[in-house]
Structure 1
């Protein structure tokens, strides 16, 4: 499994580019609509607000929402 090293969000005329970079420096670019980016942000906020800390069972959970 790759580990996230950094991410960036850049603005284009009609959408955004979400770039995820792994520990090897390999970058993955995703064009996202404003609505999709909002869904990602909401999903992360919801996931992180469920518990103040993750327990050992958390790594077995998968959190998914359709983006469009």
Structure 2
């Protein structure tokens, strides 16, 4: 997921995507805890995507305050 793609989405769409990624992160943790051992790079991908979305939501909030 690229930041440029995320910037084109509305705030509501970003919040939905964030919820989806948090669920995926939870499911990955549960799989690791039960011994299924998902691919390690998936943890990093989800974590970075969550950070990207939170950054863009912050940017949109700051732009809304200034406007």
More helix by share: 2
- Give your verdict on TM over 0.5: no
**TM-score normalised over the length of structure 2:** 0.37
- Work out which structure has the larger RCO, using CA pairs closer than 8 Å and 6 or more positions apart in sequence: 2
**TM-score normalised over the length of structure 1:** 0.36
More strand by share: 1
